[in-house]
Chain A
Amino acid sequence: MSLLSIEGLVTELRNAEDRWFAAVAGIDLAVEPGQTFCLVGESGSGKSVTALSVMGLLPERRHRHPRGRVVFHPVDHPPMELLSAEQAQLAKVRGGAIGMIFQEPMTSLNPVLTIGEQLNEVLRLHRPSLGASERRERTIAALDEVSIPQPAERVAEYPHRLSGGQRQRVMIAMALICEPRLLIADEPTTALDVTVQAGILRLIRELQERRGMGVLFITHDFGVVAQIADSVGVMRRGELVESGPASAVLRRPAHDYTRSLIAALPERLPRPPARQPKPEPLVEVDQLSVHFPVRRGFLRRVVDHVRAVDGVSLSVQPGEVVALVGESGCGKTTLGRALLRLLPVTAGELRLEGRDITQLPPRALRPLRRRMQVVFQDPGSSLNPRLPVLTTLTEPMRVHGIGADDKERRRRAAELLERVEMPADSLWRYPHEFSGGQRQRLAIARALVLEPRFVLCDEVTSALDVSVQAGILKLLRRLVDEHDLGMLFITHNMGVVEYLADRMAVMRNGRVVESGPVARVLREPEHEYTRTLLAAVPRLASGDEARG
């Protein structure tokens, strides 16, 4: 008998218009003790709803289960049907025999309680027989188990003193403190840097082997699946299109959808032949520094500086994509914004087509702005929600005197929409009517409207599903090649770098530690940090498969 078996589960949710729709449309899966079942799929495929259904955590009166059974059957307990269980019984199982970890480590812990108190509370609820000193011992042991340094001192810390990775470790400790038989992890590493992610994945693996618990692991990342899964289920629109042992599904996917998902991974996209970039540099950054003052005290005196960017040099040539990679907080976004003069530069020099623009006053800079444009990360906030697409696209043209009249500008805007593969009637729509990928295309169109020579892309695909990301990446590469653009592409995704970039620079703590052609840096990294970073990237083993 499996530890957790889901049989024909259907979960219907009620949307804002009071209509029921099936978020999970009849899936069957089984989690065995000591094994990891990975549920993968794109956003909206119903993988999180499945996990919440099992835990009974969906909002009351807004969900229902017309069909299906979820049976939880640990070895020394009678089987239990979770969908029909009483709330009181469920509450006993949740956090006790079933542990759960969520995606967002920053908000999963209560900020006004110390981590010790929060762990203690779980024990008090589920192990009422333990005394206070025993509970404290267990708490410290649990923190030790998830490799929090100096656990005896750290129990008295508040969550804000811990980093994101440490908070996720505390969440794991909390899920595991009552020694659950089943762990449900919903994208537990998505918000974390790759090196931190590697540590967390290793930890989950180790704890699982030591305890023999079953894990239901939800992710969208095939690299993570390859690292951790024993069995895999691929979900699309509430249905499980394919499931089976991880090695079989990943190596020889049977279903078209699985195949298309794996083919859409950026490192597997067929790369167009690299062209020789023109030698004259388009954008040059020379020993650039951006420091933010730290002010303290009554008179707000400057006591120190945060060196967000500290003496970085790089250059971008027309027709090439330079990737800037690094983990969160390394200063890559700050560098990008300073490069566009959106942030003041502390020291160093910026040259655009040979002209020094470092200290150019705003008025003199304005006509040059059209030469360099930007596309941002968050598709939700990158377009003005109050303006229709037409206005967003034509206003910059009018300001810079592109196009003779409004008619001409409207024609240009329509042309651009076609070039970014958007329907022509998008012009009269508002941003909220588009999906994330479509909005990113619109943001690209807005950047291209001014016919720039240089485009900065700041994590433009990191909020998107892998198949959508593939479309955007292909578009960007085509635009760079067709228009001889220079592009600085900020990302943390090595697969994207591999597909898109010609050269790359690795940043850490405000400095560039290594730079060079992508093929060389990825294959023979010279710097220690680059090696660590590359080793931490979860990858789908590709040795036995022909690369496109």
Chain B
Amino acid sequence: MSEPAVRSQPLSRQVLAAVLARTSARLGLAWILLLVVLAAFAPFIASSQPLLMVASGELSFPVLNYLTPIDVLWLAGFILAAVVMAARLRAPLALGLWLAGTGLAGLLALVLLEPPVLTIHEQYRERLAAGEIDRLVFAPIPYSARDYLRDYGDTGVEPPLAADARRHWLGTEENGADVASRMIHAARIALGIGFIATGIALFIGAIIGGLMGYFSGIVDIIGMRLVEIFEAIPTLFLLLTFVAFFGRSIYMMMVIIGITSWSGYARYVRAEFLKLREQDFVQAAIAAGLPLHSILFRHMLPNGMAPLLVAASFGVASAILAEATLSFLGLGLVDDPSWGQMLNQAVQSATFNWWLAVFPGGAIFLTVFAYNLVGEALRDAVDPHTRAGKAR
């Protein structure tokens, strides 16, 4: 039997179409997409290492030598996501392929890549000045995030386009590093912490909430007490304590934000599952003798996913805010760039450095705003009482 030419639209596509129909959601998604592109291609957009070099008649690509496993992970993730989306696979398959492919690329990079331990940012500028190099092509922003411009002598906080010899579009921060470059590299941390912390929270929340909703009774009572315990933990203070005891680590922050914020998702999933369990198609699935994992993850979870996604898009925003808050308090990452940390520098020196407040602050604001716009559009799209929801 051959498949018919016309395949109907699954519900997820219709929801996506309803979300994209809203201008605000399109703007939000566009901003997030821009951040993703910047984060994925950060080494090629802002780097002290030239993209292309011709020295003594030999062509080389220095920037590739300095790629770290994290850089490869981001690039592989971006390209694979584009490929998977273009292939129009079914959502669970696409997600699995993407995770596996990205993970494999990251592992390979970790094993195979050996970036130089010591990075001398100014070496190419100096060799160019010494006339050793015939031709150099730099990235659009020719400064790495951690290039403190030691070759220029005594550099520090400078407003945008203040120096004659160098061009810093958004100025420099207190160590003399380029703000634009640092902001682009910081997008990785913002996106990464948002997605991974929310991913952890969603995973835990969906499983605990699902079990509570499906089994109810004693499982539900115990689960709800667990939810209440975790809701009583103030995330920020827990983070502060952990940072004080164990030092600063972005991964630890992701995990802590993740395991303290699953309770909201668990509540959502529980409520959805309590409702879905009584639905006829779930009862029919039980009556057909389908195994528990199929009932839970094939028949119930996809139908209870919509409110979860809405909550998740707001959760990503709040995770980004949490990291920014921590960095602003000076408890974020030490040397890695972060928007919150730049905000902190804006108020630390004797004078108010507006460019250190406006650009990173604006980025935080826009990102949180974008996630909220998308979340709101999603909520309306899955709500059958609104017009966008009804149209499907």
Residues of A with Cβ closer than 8 Å to B? 16-17, 337, 340, 342, 365-370, 372-374, 376-378, 381-388, 395-396, 399-400, 410-411, 414, 424-425, 428-430, 432-433, 443, 446-447, 450
Contact = CB atoms under 8 A, between A and B. Distances in A.
Contact of B8 (A367, A433, A443, A450): A433
A377 B283 CA distance: 12
A369 B291 contact: no
B251 interface: no
Nearest to A382: B280
Given A384-B299, A429-B8, A399 B283 contact: no
B1 interface: yes
B307 to A, nearest CB: 15
Interface string B98-127: 000000000000000000000000000000
A46 to B, nearest CB: 20
B288 A386 contact: no
A338 to B, nearest CB: 12
Contact of B294 (A377, A399, A433): A399
B390 interface: yes
Interface residues of B, number: 31
B306 to A, nearest CB: 10
B284 A399 contact: no
B11 A399 contact: no
Contact of A378 (B280, B290, B294): B280
B3 interface: yes
B138 to A, nearest CB: 50
B283 A337 contact: yes
Given A395-B290, A414-B1, A342 B283 contact: yes
Given A396-B289, A430-B11, A384 B4 contact: no
Contacts of A342: 283, 286-287
B90 to A, nearest CB: 10
Of A365, A381, A382, which is in contact with the most chain B CB atoms at under 10 Å from its CB? A381
A17 B392 CA distance: 11
A376 B290 contact: no
Contacts of B286: 342
B289 A400 contact: yes
A410 B283 contact: no
Interface in B300-335: 302-303
B287 A373 contact: yes
A377 B11 CA distance: 23
Contacts of A396: 288-290
Contacts of A424: 1
B153 interface: no
B387 interface: yes
Nearest to A433: B8
A365 B279 contact: no
Given A381-B279, A381-B280, A432 B11 contact: yes
B299 A374 contact: no
Contacts of A410: 1
A374 B283 CA distance: 9
Given A374-B283, A410-B1, 17 more contacts: A366-B291, A367-B289, A369-B289, A370-B289, A372-B287, A381-B279, A384-B303, A385-B281, A385-B303, A386-B10, A387-B298, A388-B8, A400-B289, A424-B1, A430-B8, A430-B9, A446-B288
B391 interface: yes
Contacts of A368: 289
A369 B287 contact: yes
Contacts of B11: 385-386, 430, 432
A411 B289 CA distance: 22
B166 interface: no
Contact of A377 (B6, B12, B280): B280
B280 A376 contact: yes
A366 B8 CA distance: 33
Contact of A382 (B281, B289, B302, B387): B281
A299 B279 CA distance: 30
Given A399-B294, A428-B7, A428-B8, A369 B288 contact: yes
A386 B302 contact: yes
A186 to B, nearest CB: 22
B22 to A, nearest CB: 16
Contacts of A387: 298-299
A16 B387 CA distance: 8
B287 A374 contact: yes
Given A429-B8, A432-B11, A382 B284 contact: yes
Contacts of B298: 387, 395
A235 B12 CA distance: 38
Contacts of B289: 365-370, 396, 399-400
B363 to A, nearest CB: 37
Nearest to A373: B287
Of B8, B288, B302, B391, which is in contact with the most chain A CB atoms at under 10 Å from its CB? B288
A386 B303 contact: yes
Contacts of A411: 1
6 contacts: A337-B283, A342-B287, A372-B287, A388-B10, A428-B3, A446-B284
Pick the 10 closest A-B CB pairs, nearest first.
A369-B289, A376-B280, A382-B280, A396-B288, A366-B289, A386-B302, A16-B391, A384-B281, A425-B4, A381-B280
A365 B291 CA distance: 12
A450 B287 CA distance: 11
Interface in B1-48: 1, 3-4, 6-12
A450 B284 CA distance: 12
Nearest to A368: B289
A21 to B, nearest CB: 16
Of A365, A425, A450, which is in contact with the most chain B CB atoms at under 10 Å from its CB? A425
A367 B291 CA distance: 11
Nearest to A392: B281
Contacts of A370: 288-289
